[in-house]
Amino acid sequence: MTSEFVQSSPRKYVLFDVDGTLIDALENQRRVWGMWAGRYRLDADEVYRVALRTRPMETFVQVAPEQDPAECLAVLHELEDEDVRSGVYAAFDGASELLDALPVGSWALVTSNYEHRVRGRFARTGLPVPRVIVDAAAVEEGKPSPVPYLLAAEQLGARPEDCLVVEDAPSGVEAGLRAGMTVWGVNAEVAVVGVHRHFGSLREAVPDILGFARLEGSDAVG
């Protein structure tokens, strides 16, 4: 992460989801769940369909109720870690430009994944890493609970009403709304219910996100 001159107190803050918002990991997720399903001789398409709308422990209960959930999770983590090392990743168009332009200390990542994987993916795609990353290990309640986004705001020293959440998934949108934040949706053809604004792609949203961050007249980037 580059270190440059910063605003002493950014007035607005931006909180980003990671997978599906900044990093295009859809095929990686499908591949990982496909390999996981193969370990247990399950139908890969059905497993992935369930995994898209539930958290891992809930997925295991639905698709492999006879298996030990802790073992299932360990296998999934093993496959995900290997994918971070060897998989092919790409940042969405506009992600690098956007993150490089935001003032240091004015943005954070809020993810249902784990920090070491996020850092690995960002290193692979050349994206800068912020000071604040709220991951699955940081909270007991994940999205759609507002807790992850509220914790990110707290760590940034921000009020919820001064935060913009950028999300692609219904659970993340719900989390941001319940946290009392402005929520914009990206990278979807149809707007997620509840978003305050919808953009078909992250690239389309870049000027407006930077506008929200009120960069006019600021010399700070990071």
Which own/partner pairs from 200-204 qualify as long-range (CB within 8 Å, at least 24 positions apart)?
201/92, 201/93, 201/94, 202/21, 202/22, 202/92, 202/93, 202/94, 202/95, 202/98, 202/166, 203/92, 203/93, 203/94
Q: Give the separation between CA 200 and CA 32, rounded to whole angstroms.
A: 26
Sheet with strand 132-134: strands edge to edge: 132-134, 107-110, 13-16, 163-167, 182-185, 197-198
From 19, 24, 83, 168, the catalytic residue: 19
- 219 classed as catalytic: no
In this structure, are residues 133 and 115 in contact, taking their beta carbons and an 8 Å threshold?
A: yes
Q: Give the separation between CA 34 and CA 48, rounded to whole angstroms.
A: 7
Give whole-number Cα distances, 138 to 31, 104, 122, in Å.
26, 21, 19
- 162 classed as catalytic: no
Active site residues: 17, 19
